[in-house]
Each structure stands twice: as structure tokens, then as C-alpha cells.
Amino acid sequence: MRSLAGRLALTHLLVVLIAVAAMDALVLVAFERLALHQRQVAAFTETNIAVNLVEPYYRPGCPPLESSPGLLEVVRSYATQSGSRVLALDGSGRVVADSMSPAGYTGRTLTHPEVAAALAGRSASRRRYLPTSGWVLYTVAPVLQDKRPVGAVFLATSLADVTQGLAGVARTMVLGSLAAVLVAGLAGVAAARSVTGPVVRLTRAVERMGRGDLGQRVAVRGRDEVATLTRAFNEMATRLQEEDERRREFLADVAHELQTPVAAIRAMAEPMAAGDDPSAPRQADGSDLEVYREFAREMAGQAERLGRLVGDLLELARLESPKVRLTCEEVDLADLARGVLESLRRDAEAAGVDLRAGSLEPVLVVGDGLRLEQVLVNLVTNGLRYAGAGRTVRVDVSREGGEARLRVADDGPGIAPEHLPHLFERFYRVDRSRSRRGGGTGLGLAIVKRIVELHGGSVSVVSRPGEGTTFEVRLPAARGPVKMS
């Protein structure tokens, strides 16, 4: 049987069957014991009555037992009364009167063990199976004179009624049991189906999902393990679908971002290739060359933009790959900050921004120095780009508890609250054209976030429109504060 439902139902049926059969057998055995015991008690009583009836014929001075017509008469009449066969035996076990005479056992010596027991003074009984009359009960009791056995009375009772009663009970029980097993079997099939039904549905959904249909959801019923599994499946499906959706959007964004510079390059390259420039009137003094140069510069700028975009995309792809490797070393964030401030000084001057170091407390972190540098460069560059001329960008490094904190604060225009939750998303820009003009790709903060998270840290932003923006990076500090030497 290959299906789980079949196996469950079959096991259930077998267990019920075995239990019912065992119960039937136990009840029947108990019933038989009880019936037999009752019959035995009754047979002993009857035997004792017979012993009392025949005892007078065993008294000393009576005629020999085998020729006593009185004894045979008593034996016969009691046999009729009790419905059993009654035999009287002498002290040697010889039959002296048989209620079934003349054909009976008269004259034969009986050697049954119960006869021997009775002749030794103890009543005994035994159940025997006779091919002719079925189950019979032999009961033998001694006839005593002066407390000594001088003979015995042998009572043979048919047990046919017990056997029949037992058969009747057995029939009823088997019928009842079959009904019970049938009901239990049906209940088992229903229960098994209720367990495996959802599993089957789930399997179909998983198969469809495997073929790429991510819209699969399975209705959750009840709160058992299968329901939990189903819920987990649904959540997974939702996450996969969202992930798929994000990937699609990202791809569309990438295509869109690439399209603009490519279109610009094309728009300039085509007239150049054709040798005329429809946007500028042709002039005789050779100023065409100047136009060409202008176009070429513009194209170079667009190509550079493309290069930056592709570079950032590659970097993000590397950082998001599960195989990303950090080259870890101990990095002092204060040193790192000083280096970055130095390298961006010219950019700051060009942007007219006052770029300055706040308090730079030495803090060691274990991390990839180049990538951490990239974090700071991206944040400071954003500050220079979006704070605007005449503003200040300040970098602070501190240690708080077991954490290293790196802050980049500006007093620029700030960011409206509705943008803050999306700021670290790929290609999210508050002002697209402004970002573009400044050479932004929209990927800087996504890269920052990814690098910081790879280092086990977090990055957050606080901004108030009109007051400025502060980005804060938290990283686990390597160990105690560095001693100043």
C-alpha cells in the first residue's frame, strides 16, 4: 500500500480488529469457565444426592450389589430425574448398576483417574470429549461406610447445552464485533483522509510552485501539525512572491537607469556619425569642431555615469551574494575617518561645504577596512551632495558600551519623514534629477546598509526638514578602548 491514507486506515483497522478479537476471545473463555463451573457445582450436588440415595444398598448385610434390583431402580429413577447417566460402582471400580442397562457398562471395571480418586475417598470431576456425544462432564463421588470408601457413584452429564449457549454468545459477539470493526474501519478511512487530504493539497501546491507559479496558497483548516505546515508554506510562498516581485522591480529599475545615459549617448553619437548636427546651425568658421567636442565631453560624462552605475550594481551584487567574503582585520574607525576626511577634502571644497572632524575617539572594530571606508565615503559624499554650499558636514566616532558609533551629520535641508523608511532601498531617491546631477546612482545607501549588516551592525537615519540629517552606523566594537600612547 503506497498511500499514507491507506496505510493509516489499514493500521487502524488491524489494531481495532486485533483488539476486538482479543476481547471476544477473553469474554468467551470467561463465559465458558463460568458456565462450566456452575455445571460442575450442580453436578457435584447431584452426585452427592445420588450417593445418599444409593448408600443404603452398600450397608453391611445387604445383598450383593450387582444382584440388587433396588439399587438399579434407584439409579434409573435418579437418572431420569437428573437427566444424567448414573452408574454405581463397587469398591474395586466395577460397575454394579448403570441407568442405561441392560446395554450399559454393568460388569465393566472403570479405570478413569476420577474413579480412582473417588475410590480413594475424594470426589472428582472431569470434562471429556466423546466422539459420539460431544462434551460431557464426569463427576464421581465416593460412597462411604464408617468414613471409608466402599464404592462410588459416577454421573455423566452432557455439556451440549453449555456448548450451544457458548456458540450462541459467540455468534452474537462476532456479529457485534464485525459491526464495530466496520464502523471503526470507516472512521479510520475518514480520519486518514482528513490527515492526508491537506497533505495532498499541499503537495499539489508545492508542485505548481516548483513549476514557477508563485501565487499558490493553501487554505488552512484547524490548528494541527498539518495546519502549521500549511501556514508555513503560505508564508514561504508569500515571501518568495515578494522576493520575485522585488527582483522584477529591480530589474526594471536597472533597465530604466541604464536607458537614460544610453539614450543620451545615442542621441549625440548618431548626428556625429552622420556628420551633421541638427541642433546647432552649421557655421562656416569651423565651430562644428567645438560642437563635436562639446558632444564628446557630454558623451564621456554619460559613459562615466554608466560606469559608476554598473560599478555600483556589481558591488551590490557581490555584497548580496551568499558567497561574499570580507577581508577582516582590526580597523580603528577614527583612523579610517581621518583618512576619508582627507581624501574628500577637495570634493568638499569644490562643493563649498565645510567638512570637518568632530570628536574622533579611537575605536577598534573587526571588519573589512576597504568596505568600511566605502560606507563612510558614501555617507560623506551624500552630505556634500545634498547639504548644499555653505553648509557643514561633521564626522564623529565614539564608543558607547560595546558598540562603535560612526556619525555623519549635516545641517542641510533634511529629508521629509515619508521618505525615511525607503531611503536605504535600491534606487530610492528623494529628488532623482538632483541625485543624477551630483553623480548619484541611487545605490549608495543600499550598499552602506548591506556592508554594515555584513559586519553585524546597523545603520539609521534621523532627519528634520530644514535642520539637517544625521546618519549613524553602529558596529560591534572589537575590545576595550584603545590606550592612547
Ligand X SMILES: Nc1ncnc2c1ncn2[C@@H]1O[C@H](COP(=O)(O)OP(=O)(O)O)[C@@H](O)[C@H]1O
Asked if 75 and 90 touch (Cβ cutoff 8 Å), the reply is no
**Number of C-alpha atoms within 13 angstroms, CB side, residue 420?**
15
341 torsion bin: left (phi>0), alpha (psi -120 to 50), beta (else): alpha
Residue 374 binding ligand X, by CB under 6 A:
no
Select the span of 68-76, 81-89, 231-239, 429-437 touching ligand X (CB under 6 A). 429-437
Question: Rounded to the nearest whole angstrom, what is the least distance from the CB of residue 276 to Mg ion in the complex?
Answer: 39
Question: Rounded to the nearest whole angstrom, what is the least distance from the CB of residue 366 to ligand X in the complex?
Answer: 26
For 291, the grid coordinates are 560642437
**Number of C-alpha atoms within 13 angstroms, CB side, residue 444?**
22
Residue 469 binding Mg ion, by CB under 5 A:
no
| β partners of residue 127 | 137
> Nearest to residue 89, comparing CAs of 136, 37, 124, 61?
124
Question: Rounded to the nearest whole angstrom, what is the least distance from the CB of residue 420 to Mg ion in the complex?
Answer: 15
Question: Rounded to the nearest whole angstrom, what is the least distance from the CB of residue 307 to Mg ion in the complex?
Answer: 16
Residue 93 binding ligand X, by CB under 6 A:
no
Rounded Cα–Cα distance for residues 75 and 148 (Å)? 21
Binding mask 320-359 for ligand X (x = CB under 6 A): ----------------------------------------
Q: Which member of 13, 412, 475, 477 binds ligand X (CB under 6 A)?
A: 412
Asked if 391 and 353 touch (Cβ cutoff 8 Å), the reply is yes
Asked if 405 and 399 touch (Cβ cutoff 8 Å), the reply is yes
Question: Rounded to the nearest whole angstrom, what is the least distance from the CB of residue 467 to Mg ion in the complex?
Answer: 20
In 309-368, the DSSP E strands lie at 328-332, 354-360, 364-368
Residue among 143 and 353 whose Cβ is closer to ligand X: 353
For 236, the grid coordinates are 514561504
Residue among 122 and 422 whose Cβ is closer to Mg ion: 422
Residue among 39 and 405 whose Cβ is closer to ligand X: 405
Question: Rounded to the nearest whole angstrom, what is the least distance from the CB of residue 379 to Mg ion in the complex?
Answer: 8
What phi, psi does 195 have (nearest 5°)? Answer: -80, -45
Could you tell me how far CA 296 lies from the centroid of its own chain? 64
| β partners of residue 318 | none
Select the span of 150-158, 174-182, 237-245, 379-387 touching ligand X (CB under 6 A). 379-387
Residue among 308 and 338 whose Cβ is closer to ligand X: 308
Residue 84 binding Mg ion, by CB under 5 A:
no
Residue among 99 and 378 whose Cβ is closer to Mg ion: 378
Q: Which member of 444, 449, 450, 457 binds Mg ion (CB under 5 A)?
A: 444
Q: Which does 423 bind (CB under 5 to 8 A by kind): Mg ion, ligand X, none?
A: ligand X
Residue 430 binding ligand X, by CB under 6 A:
yes
Asked if 90 and 151 touch (Cβ cutoff 8 Å), the reply is yes
Q: Which does 205 bind (CB under 5 to 8 A by kind): ligand X, Mg ion, none?
A: none
Neighbours of 428 (CB within 10 A): 17
Q: Which does 415 bind (CB under 5 to 8 A by kind): Mg ion, ligand X, none?
A: ligand X
Asked if 17 and 143 touch (Cβ cutoff 8 Å), the reply is no
Q: Which member of 20, 50, 415, 475 binds ligand X (CB under 6 A)?
A: 415
Residue among 178 and 314 whose Cβ is closer to ligand X: 314
Rounded Cα–Cα distance for residues 336 and 354 (Å)? 19
| Residue 160 amino acid letter | A
Residue among 17 and 258 whose Cβ is closer to ligand X: 258
Rounded Cα–Cα distance for residues 265 and 405 (Å)? 43
For 345, the grid coordinates are 577634502
What phi, psi does 424 have (nearest 5°)? Answer: -90, 5
Neighbours of 391 (CB within 10 A): 19
Select the span of 64-72, 105-113, 185-193, 382-390 touching Mg ion (CB under 5 A). 382-390
For 296, the grid coordinates are 564628446
Residue 410 binding ligand X, by CB under 6 A:
yes
Residue among 358 and 362 whose Cβ is closer to ligand X: 358
For 46, the grid coordinates are 447431584
Q: Which member of 84, 196, 302, 382 binds Mg ion (CB under 5 A)?
A: 382
Looking at residues 437 to 476 of the shown chain, list those that interact with ligand X (rule: CB under 6 A). Answer: 440-446, 469
Residue among 106 and 260 whose Cβ is closer to ligand X: 260
Residue 261 binding ligand X, by CB under 6 A:
no
Name, in order, each residue with C-beta under 8 angstroms of 142's C-beta and a sequence gap of 6 or more.
51, 118, 119, 120, 121, 122, 123, 149, 151, 152
Q: Which does 431 bind (CB under 5 to 8 A by kind): ligand X, Mg ion, none?
A: ligand X
Question: Rounded to the nearest whole angstrom, what is the least distance from the CB of residue 357 to ligand X in the complex?
Answer: 17
Q: Which member of 66, 431, 454, 472 binds ligand X (CB under 6 A)?
A: 431
Contact residues: ligand X, CB under 6 A: 378, 382-383, 386, 410, 412, 415, 423, 428-431, 435, 440-446, 469
Contact residues: Mg ion, CB under 5 A: 382, 440, 444
